[in-house]
Structures are given as structure tokens and as C-alpha cells.
């Protein structure tokens, strides 16, 4: 169907409406439909229409032009009947059938030709075009159109794809008729734009949701309630009904109704209203701009063609110039701005430009300034050039300037940024219910059962909170309660969270800090950098002996250990290669002194190690309490404490712990979905395989880069110790900073860790796969070469 529309396509050129005499119309109405009353002739280009005020209702009697295609009338009639059946609250005219139950009748006109006659109910109200278009009214219009489209979703008809000049999908057939545009510059603009639309936009639109739509919700075809000025009382005139992109309905309405100055905000109101009833897809929102411009362009061409016909001049006078002005206005605003606005009102993330598009969002500098104002300057940002992100997918982050970054740093998006399964689970649960654990609902129980099943036997009681810090805070309270002791052992430079009690046990980045007497730091078991190295005998025993020292110090102050709190990945110590048996030995000593073992799995839990679901199990230690945070919700804030039933019950006997948000159904849905993905996508195995490959490749750089002192880790948690010389192992701290910034500039995110901040921390989402290793290595190689 690519041949141009023929002159016959311009059906409305026929301006010979039927000319029935009033008395014959009255007789016909009485005879066919059994209605009588006052008839008033209505304006129509092609048909002959009457308003009929009967005793207790009003109708519109439509006598169709002789050229009218009965199949198209049938489409409209069936469409209206479908809406009435599916959602009777959508205000559209009702089809009144003839006495014999037909939707229309054929009647011979004064010209001797046969005309279709139909009766519809009349919807009273003020035409939208005659009222002031407030934001509330436009939102209601959008909502009304959405309700109509929702009702029409399942409707099909053989004539749904009939020939229609105004059909955006048939723009290629209209394209040759730009020849009718008299003004050369105007014609050139139109042709250039239409060619771009036809070649670059239209093919992609075939992916959008399609259905039969009204397709002509302009100022004449929508009426508002006489009583409620912001209420839509009716959508009428289904003459342009067609199967098209659903999104074309609000697009056509926006173009026709709002053409003029300052269309941006009003269009946004209309779209927001539509989206609130029938949620739009991102692609639909992104093509709206083009559809609105296309509608203006089509109007301009059709009117020019129409006006070029012998009886043409004067047709819809003023409409063409307005459409042209609107098109120019839209093009001046530009696709980027309009699209950004539509995205904003629908609460989609800002548009993510493609590389080369240039920055389309608020520029990073002004955002940074606003941030300093709103959040204070103390909240630091990573990297010399802050990362201004707008979206993520798998291990990728996409920036406002169109660049993309390979994320080898973040473990919160454990199964990958914006994983669709997790996103859907969150959205679906949020759409159904979000409440607290004082009520009975399934998700929290499902989630607790699934979590417990991943742990060794005996772990059967979950307490849900909102963060890793809260989990550690609760775990410390539990440990103190069940042991009756106060002391806490932590590893030097360890970090466990932000609450007041957890902060007391944080030794991270505080070498000179004197912790409270009941907190003791243990020397980190780091055979590369610590006091005991290769050749120093039984390293596990020598490092573990430090626990004896700590316990003795506590004892000297009259304190017994309540707990050892341990991140078994020793992440903030730079992911050292912990001597085998070390942790089991420390755990034994702590337990012997009356304490319990709290495994802080916030960093290392959830399959990251590649060999075990829980980090501490890689050390052969079964803890007493496990705390979870960060990765378990893939970004949705949830935290949990899991322990044995007797521990939790003991705790519960003494104190009631209730967290308002902890264990809420949406968080649990996120958590369940994360577990699904880890299982379904085999992410633990991926962590093992990809992690090993990544380490091998990094080690492969050691020949060329003397900066690499040591490469270690497990699964997808890797520490790369940078040194000024391999001999002296002097930490290359500043150099590490330069490396992470250089890599960031080259599109790869890593962090640095360890007491000297000289260890590159490589801890990507578990969606990081083999194909991501090469770009990572390339960026690392370049950064090291640049030192
Ligand atoms: N424990 C560890 C080991 C952590 O790394 C962190 C956060 N980085 C926390 C606890 C605290 O978690 P949150 O920030 O969710 O409170």
C-alpha cells in the first residue's frame, strides 16, 4: 500500500451531503426508529445530521453520504457497541437500533441513491474547543481517552485498517501530495521532516502497541460536562476510527487541540492523565514528539491538497497556518526537550542519549550545584569527574552525556542493574499491597523460607529490617542478650554500618580512634601486607592468636566477648588471601570465651564467592547470626538478621522488635525475585567462572605492569594490590586513585580499598560475564600504562 492516495482518497472532496427534506426525515425517524420530536439540522461537510429532541431523550440522526463505505460505518457502530459492553461508564454515544434491531437502515434519498441512516444518543455538553483548557481538564481528557482506548483494546473489525488520509501509518502515501504546498520554504520543511519520519521513525513504530483507536479527539469531538467544567462528558464522532498505535490517540489530540503557543506543559498534562489510567511504555513516550509533529505535518499536507482542488480554497480556513505554526513551535523546542518533559511527567528516568547524541539532560555542573545546596557538600561523590547516571542495565550504567560505563564496582545491583524480573516483582507487589509485618501476608513468609533454605541447618528464624546497619545493630543486641556479655571483636579497618551502636565497632578509616573499652580490633589476616607473611610459619595460627590478645585485654577490663562481627570477605582490608583455618580458629576462641559469631554478609553474601551462597561458609565456619543487606534487594532497601529459633525467641521474650518497613511485601517481593534470578541465571557459577577468568587476565598484565603487586579474591570479589615496588610493597595509594579515575574516564568503574586505599576493589554485579572481561582489562591496562 505504498501508492499515493488517489484523488478518490480525498473522499471529503465530495461536498454533496445528502439533502433529505425535514418532513421526510421526521417520517423516516418515526418509521425506522420509532422516535419523534424536534429536529435541528447540524453542520456537516459530507453527511446530513440532525439533533433530535424527543420527549425524554436526545439523539443524533446521521444520514451518510452516498460514498460512505458500509464496512467503515459498521466498524464505527461495532466499536461503539463494544465500548458500551466492555465499559459502560466510558462516555460515548450509544447506538440506537432500528425497530427491527439493525444498527442502521438503507434509505433512498431525493437523489435516488441509497444512504445509510443511523441513530445515536446525543451527549450534551460544551465542546472542549470552546472552553479554557486547565491542567485538570487536560489530565481528565488524557484519562478519558485512556479509558476509551482501554475499552477498545480487544476490539477488532475487518475494516479496522481501511484507507484514511489522516492515518499516520499511511504517511508515505500522502507524501507525494506535498506538491500542493504553494510556499516553497514551507514545502521544503515539510518534505524534509516527513522523509525523516517515514524513513527513520515509522518503521520502529510497528513495535508499539496497536489497536483500534478513536483517532480524532479534537476540540469539536470531546464535550465537557455542563455541571463539572473539568469533567469529560463525552467523546463523539468516531468517523476517523482506525487500527493504529494506541499512543496515536493522545498524540492526535495533543496536536489538534493544543496547537499554538506553549504546547509543552498542556501536552504534558494530557499525557500524564493518559498514563495514569493506561500506563505508557517507555518507547511510546519517546515517540510521542514525532507523532504530534507528524499529525501537524499531515494536517498541513491534507489541507494544502484539499485547498488546491477546484472547489477547495477556504477549506478549514486558518487551520493550516495554525498547524504550521504548531509544527514550527514543536521543532523549535526540539525532540529532546519535549521527550524529556513527557518522560518527567510519566516519571520515567531521564532519556538516555545514545553515544554521539550529546548531553540531553540537565548538565552535570548545575546538578552538582543543586546537590551541594540541597544535600550539603560533606556527602562525597566518587571520582574526580562525578558520574552522572540516568539508567542501568546488567553491568552497564548509562550517563547523562550519552556515555556508558562498565560497572565493576557495585554489589547492590547484585543480579544486574534494573533487572527486569526484579523490577516487575517490585512493581507488581507495589500495585497490589504494601504494608507491615503486623498483618498476615504471604510474601514475608515465602521470603523467610527461601532465605533460610540457603543457610546451614539450624538457621530458621528471620528478623527483617531495612539496611545492613540495622541488621548489624539488631545482631549486636541479640548477641549481647543471649550471651549476657558486652564485648565485641572486629577486624581492624572493618566497616559495619551507621547506627550509634554499630558505629562504636567501626574501625574503618580511623587508625587513631580509640574505641570504647568493650570493642577490640583484630589484626587483619593479610599475608601480603600484614605482620606475618610467607615463611613466618603457621600463618592461620599466628593471625588467630591476636584474638587471644584481644580477649585477654577485654578480660583485663572485666569484659567478656558477646560477639565476633566479621565480614568474611575482609573487603575493607583489601580482600586479603586469608590463611586457611584462620577464621575457624578465631571463632573457636571467641566461642570459648562466651561469645557468638555474627557473619556480616552484607558484602560477600548471596553467591558472590562463586563456591558458596554465604561468604563465611567458604572459611568452613557456621556462624550463630547472619546479617544481610545491600545486595539482597538488588537496590530495594531490605536487610535481615537470621539466626536460630532459640536465639530469636530469647530475644523476643525480652524485647519486642518491630520495624515498620522491615519485611514489607514489596521488599520481600524484590528479595524473592533476586533469589529467582540467582538460581535461574546460574549467577553463582558465573561468579566462579567469570571471577577466575578476570583474575587470570589481570595476572596476565603483571609482566608489563610492575605496579601490580598482588591479585587475589574469590568469585566476583577481587583485590588488586598496587605497589610502588614489588620488593618493598610500598602501597601505591595516589597511583590507585589515578588508576580508578583513569578507568572511569575510559568507561570502567572500580573502587579502591584497604587501610592504604591502594587496593583496587573489583566487585561487579553478578551479571558481569566473560564478554565484559576484555573491556575491563583494556581500561585497566591503559590506566596502568598512564601511571
Ligand atoms: N556491613 C558491611 C560489611 C558493609 O559493607 C556495609 C555497607 N557498606 C554495611 C554493613 C552497612 O550497610 P548499610 O549501608 O546498608 O546500612
Q: What is the pLDDT of residue 517?
A: 95
- Cα-based distances in Å from 279 to 246, 268, 348, 774: 11, 14, 11, 39
Our answer on whether the CB atom of 495 is closer than 6 Å to any ligand 1 atom is yes
Whose C-alpha lies nearest to ligand 1, atom 5? 603
Instruction: Provide the pLDDT confidence category of residue 44 given band limits of 50, 70 and 90.
Output: confident
Q: How does the average pLDDT of the chain come out, rounded?
A: 94
Our answer on whether the CB atom of 568 is closer than 6 Å to any ligand 1 atom is no
Mean pLDDT in residue range 358-362: 51
Q: What is the pLDDT of residue 663?
A: 97
Q: What is the pLDDT of residue 9?
A: 58
Q: How far is the CA of 468 from the centre of ligand 1 (A)?
A: 5
Mean pLDDT in residue range 173-185: 94
Mutation test residue for ligand 1: of 473, 500, 603, 606, the one with most atoms within 8 Å of CB: 603
pLDDT in tens, 744-770: 999 999 999 999 999 999 999 999 999
Mutation test residue for ligand 1: of 379, 473, 497, the one with most atoms within 8 Å of CB: 497
Is a pLDDT exceeding 90 seen at residue 353?
A: no
Torsion sign over Cα 600, 604, 606, 611 = negative
pLDDT in tens, 142-164: 999 999 999 999 999 999 999 99
Whose C-alpha lies nearest to ligand 1, atom 10? 496
Distance CA 3, CA 415 (A): 50
- Cα-based distances in Å from 232 to 126, 128, 139: 10, 9, 10
Paired residues of 107 in beta bridges: 115
Running DSSP on this structure, what letter comes out for residue 528?
A: T
Paired residues of 718 in beta bridges: 713, 762
pLDDT in tens, 630-647: 999 999 999 999 999 988
Our answer on whether the CB atom of 467 is closer than 6 Å to any ligand 1 atom is yes
Our answer on whether the CB atom of 468 is closer than 6 Å to any ligand 1 atom is yes
pTM of the model: 0.83
Q: How far is the CA of 503 from the centre of ligand 1 (A)?
A: 11
Q: What is the pLDDT of residue 432?
A: 96
Percent of the chain with pLDDT over 70: 97
Mean pLDDT in residue range 65-82: 94
Our answer on whether the CB atom of 266 is closer than 6 Å to any ligand 1 atom is no
Q: What is the pLDDT of residue 155?
A: 98
Whose C-alpha lies nearest to ligand 1, atom 12? 468
| Neighbouring C-beta atoms of residue 45, cutoff 10 Å | 12
Residue 382 in grid coordinates: 566518587
DSSP string, 650-668: HHHHH-----SSTT-HHHH
Mean pLDDT in residue range 170-187: 94
pLDDT in tens, 260-301: 879 999 999 999 999 999 999 999 999 999 999 999 999 999
Mean pLDDT in residue range 131-150: 97
Our answer on whether the CB atom of 290 is closer than 6 Å to any ligand 1 atom is no
Q: What is the pLDDT of residue 16?
A: 75
Residue with cell 509485618: 437
- Cα-based distances in Å from 197 to 191, 253, 367, 768: 10, 19, 33, 37
Distance CA 25, CA 63 (A): 9
DSSP3 helix / strand / coil % (the chain, rounded to 5): 45, 15, 40
Q: What is the pLDDT of residue 744?
A: 98
Distance CA 462, CA 451 (A): 8
> Does residue 234 sit in helix, strand or coil?
strand
pLDDT in tens, 429-468: 999 999 999 999 999 999 999 999 999 999 999 999 999 9
Is a pLDDT exceeding 70 seen at residue 418?
A: yes
Mutation test residue for ligand 1: of 379, 495, 601, 753, the one with most atoms within 8 Å of CB: 495
Mutation test residue for ligand 1: of 465, 468, 615, the one with most atoms within 8 Å of CB: 468
Distance CA 271, CA 254 (A): 8
Our answer on whether the CB atom of 496 is closer than 6 Å to any ligand 1 atom is yes
Q: What is the pLDDT of residue 4?
A: 83
Q: What is the pLDDT of residue 465?
A: 98
Instruction: Provide the pLDDT confidence category of residue 10 given band limits of 50, 70 and 90.
Output: low
| Neighbouring C-beta atoms of residue 385, cutoff 10 Å | 11
Atom of ligand 1 nearest to the CA of 639: 15
Q: What is the pLDDT of residue 359?
A: 47
Instruction: Provide the pLDDT confidence category of residue 316 given band limits of 50, 70 and 90.
Output: confident
Of the ranges 349-363, 506-520, 571-585, which one carries the lowest mean pLDDT score? 349-363
Instruction: Provide the pLDDT confidence category of residue 349 given band limits of 50, 70 and 90.
Output: confident
Q: What is the pLDDT of residue 320?
A: 85
Distance CA 109, CA 142 (A): 40
Q: Helices 135-152 and 70-86: crossing angle, nearest 10°?
A: 100
Q: What is the pLDDT of residue 317?
A: 75
Instruction: Provide the pLDDT confidence category of residue 360 given band limits of 50, 70 and 90.
Output: very low
Q: How far is the CA of 141 from the centre of ligand 1 (A)?
A: 48
Q: How far is the CA of 127 from the centre of ligand 1 (A)?
A: 59
Mean pLDDT in residue range 650-669: 93
Q: What is the pLDDT of residue 2?
A: 74
Q: What is the pLDDT of residue 308?
A: 85
Mean pLDDT in residue range 669-676: 97
Q: What dihedral angle (degrees, nearest 10) is formed by the CA atoms of 455, 458, 463, 468?
A: -40
Mean pLDDT in residue range 553-578: 98
pLDDT in tens, 719-746: 999 999 999 999 999 999 999 999 999 9
Q: How far is the CA of 602 from the centre of ligand 1 (A)?
A: 6
- Whether residue 363 contacts residue 350, with contact meaning beta carbons closer than 8 Å, is answered with no
Our answer on whether the CB atom of 497 is closer than 6 Å to any ligand 1 atom is yes
Distance CA 59, CA 189 (A): 44
Q: What is the pLDDT of residue 402?
A: 86
Quick one: how far is CA 716 from the chain centroid?
26
Residue whose C-alpha is closest to residue 38's, from 16, 15, 61: 61
Our answer on whether the CB atom of 469 is closer than 6 Å to any ligand 1 atom is yes
Q: What is the pLDDT of residue 242?
A: 97
pLDDT in tens, 100-113: 999 999 999 988 89
Mean pLDDT in residue range 391-402: 93
pLDDT in tens, 594-644: 999 999 999 999 999 999 999 999 999 999 999 999 999 999 999 999 999
Residue 53 in grid coordinates: 429532541
Amino acid at each position: 500500500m505504498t501508492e499515493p492516495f488517489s484523488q478518490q482518497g480525498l473522499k471529503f472532496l465530495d461536498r454533496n451531503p445528502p439533502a433529505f427534506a425535514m418532513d421526510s426525515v421526521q417520517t423516516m425517524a418515526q418509521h425506522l426508529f420509532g422516535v419523534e420530536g424536534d429536529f435541528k439540522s447540524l453542520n456537516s461537510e459530507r453527511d446530513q445530521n440532525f439533533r433530535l429532541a424527543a420527549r425524554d431523550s436526545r439523539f443524533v440522526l446521521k444520514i451518510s453520504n452516498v460514498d460512505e463505505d458500509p464496512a467503515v460505518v459498521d466498524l464505527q457502530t461495532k466499536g461503539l457497541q463494544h465500548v458500551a459492553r466492555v465499559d459502560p461508564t466510558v462516555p460515548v454515544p450509544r447506538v440506537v437500533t432500528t425497530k427491527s434491531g439493525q444498527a442502521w437502515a438503507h434509505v433512498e434519498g431525493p437523489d435516488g441513491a441509497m444512504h445509510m441512516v443511523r441513530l445515536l444518543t446525543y451527549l450534551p455538553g460544551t465542546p472542549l474547543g470552546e472552553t479554557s483548557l486547565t491542567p485538570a481538564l487536560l489530565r481528565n481528557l488524557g484519562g478519558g481517552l485512556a479509558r476509551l482506548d482501554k475499552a477498545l483494546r480487544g476490539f477488532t473489525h475487518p475494516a479496522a485498517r481501511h484507507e484514511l488520509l489522516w492515518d499516520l501509518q499511511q504517511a508515505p502515501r500522502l507524501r507525494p501530495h506535498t506538491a500542493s504546498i504553494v510556499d516553497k520554504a514551507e514545502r521544503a520543511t515539510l518534505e524534509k521532516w516527513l522523509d525523516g519520519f517515514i524513513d527513520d521513525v515509522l518503521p520502529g513504530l510497528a513495535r508499539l502497541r496497536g489497536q483500534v483507536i478513536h483517532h480524532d479527539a479534537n476540540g469539536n469531538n470531546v464535550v465537557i460536562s455542563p455541571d463539572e467544567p473539568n469533567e469529560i462528558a463525552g467523546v463523539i464522532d468516531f468517523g476517523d476510527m482506525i487500527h493504529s498505535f494506541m499512543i496515536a490517540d493522545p498524540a492526535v489530540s495533543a496536536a489538534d487541540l493544543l496547537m499554538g503557543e506553549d504546547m509543552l506543559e498542556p501536552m504534558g498534562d494530557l499525557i500524564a492523565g493518559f498514563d495514569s489510567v493506561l500506563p505508557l511504555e517507555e518507547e511510546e513516550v519517546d515517540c510521542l514528539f514525532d507523532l504530534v509533529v507528524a499529525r501537524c505535518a499531515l494536517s498541513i499536507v491534507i489541507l494544502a491538497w484539499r485547498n488546491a482542488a477546484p472547489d477547495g480554497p477556504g477549506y478549514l480556513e486558518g487551520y493550516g497556518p495554525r498547524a504550521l505554526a504548531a509544527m514550527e513551535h514543536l521543532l523549535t523546542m526540539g525532540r529532546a526537550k519535549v521527550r524529556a518533559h513527557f518522560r518527567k511527567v510519566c516519571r520515567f528516568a531521564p532519556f538516555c542519549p545514545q553515544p554521539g547524541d550529546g548531553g540531553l539532560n540537565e548538565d552535570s555542573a548545575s546538578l552538582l550545584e543543586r546537590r551541594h545546596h540541597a544535600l550539603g557538600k560533606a556527602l562525597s561523590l566518587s571520582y574526580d569527574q562525578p558520574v552522572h547516571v540516568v539508567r542501568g542495565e546488567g553491568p552497564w550504567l548509562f550517563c547523562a552525556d550519552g556515555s556508558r560505563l562498565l560497572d565493576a564496582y557495585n554489589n547492590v545491583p547484585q543480579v544486574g542493574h534494573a533487572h527486569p524480573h526484579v523490577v516487575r516483582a517490585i512493581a507488581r507487589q507495589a500495585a497490589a499491597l504494601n504494608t507491615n509485618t503486623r498483618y498476615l501476608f504471604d510474601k514475608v513468609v515465602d521470603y523467610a523460607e527461601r532465605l533460610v533454605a540457603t543457610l546451614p541447618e539450624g538457621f530458621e528464624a528471620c528478623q527483617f529490617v531495612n539496611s545492613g546497619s540495622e541488621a548489624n545493630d539488631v545482631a549486636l543486641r541479640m548477641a549481647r542478650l543471649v550471651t549476657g556479655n558486652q564485648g565485641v571483636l572486629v577486624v581492624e579497618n572493618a566497616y559495619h554500618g551507621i547506627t550509634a551502636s554499630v558505629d562504636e565497632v567501626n574501625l574503618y578509616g580511623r587508625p587513631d580512634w580509640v574505641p570504647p573499652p568493650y570493642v577490640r580490633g583484630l589484626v587483619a589476616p593479610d599475608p601480603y601486607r600484614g605482620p606475618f607473611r610467607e615463611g613466618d610459619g603457621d600463618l592461620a595460627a599466628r593471625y588467630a592468636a591476636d584474638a587471644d590478645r584481644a580477649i585477654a585485654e577485654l578480660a583485663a577490663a572485666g569484659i567478656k566477648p558477646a560477639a565476633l562481627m566479621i565480614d568474611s570477605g575482609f573487603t575493607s582490608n583489601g580482600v586479603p588471601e586469608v590463611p586457611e583455618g584462620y577464621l575457624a580458629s578465631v571463632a573457636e576462641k571467641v566461642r570459648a570465651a562466651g561469645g557468638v559469631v555474627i557473619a556480616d554478609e552484607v558484602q560477600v553474601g548471596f553467591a558472590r564467592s562463586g563456591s558458596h551462597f554465604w561468604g563465611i561458609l567458604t572459611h568452613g565456619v557456621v556462624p550463630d547470626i547472619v546479617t544481610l543487606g545491600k545486595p539482597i534487594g538488588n537496590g530495594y532497601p531490605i536487610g535481615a538478621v537470621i539466626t536460630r529459633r532459640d536465639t530469636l525467641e530469647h530475644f523476643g521474650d525480652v524485647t519486642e522488635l518491630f520495624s515498620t518497613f522491615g519485611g514489607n511485601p514489596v521488599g520481600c517481593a524484590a528479595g524473592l525475585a533476586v533469589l529467582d534470578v540467582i538460581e535461574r541465571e546460574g549467577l553463582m557459577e558465573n561468579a566462579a567462572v567469570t571471577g577466575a577468568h578476570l583474575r587470570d587476565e589481570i595476572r596476565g598484565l603483571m609482566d608489563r605492569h610492575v605496579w601490580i603487586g598482588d591479585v587475589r579474591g574469590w568469585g566476583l570479589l577481587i583485590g588488586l594490590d598496587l605497589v610502588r615496588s614489588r620488593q618493598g610493597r610500598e602501597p601505591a595509594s595516589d597511583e590507585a586513585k589515578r588508576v580508578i579515575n583513569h578507568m572511569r574516564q575510559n568507561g570502567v568503574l572500580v573502587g579502591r580499598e584497604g587501610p592504604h586505599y591502594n587496593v583496587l576493589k573489583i566487585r561487579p554485579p553478578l551479571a558481569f560475564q566473560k564478554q565484559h572481561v576484555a573491556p575491563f582489562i583494556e581500561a585497566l591496562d591503559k590506566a596502568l600504562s598512564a601511571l
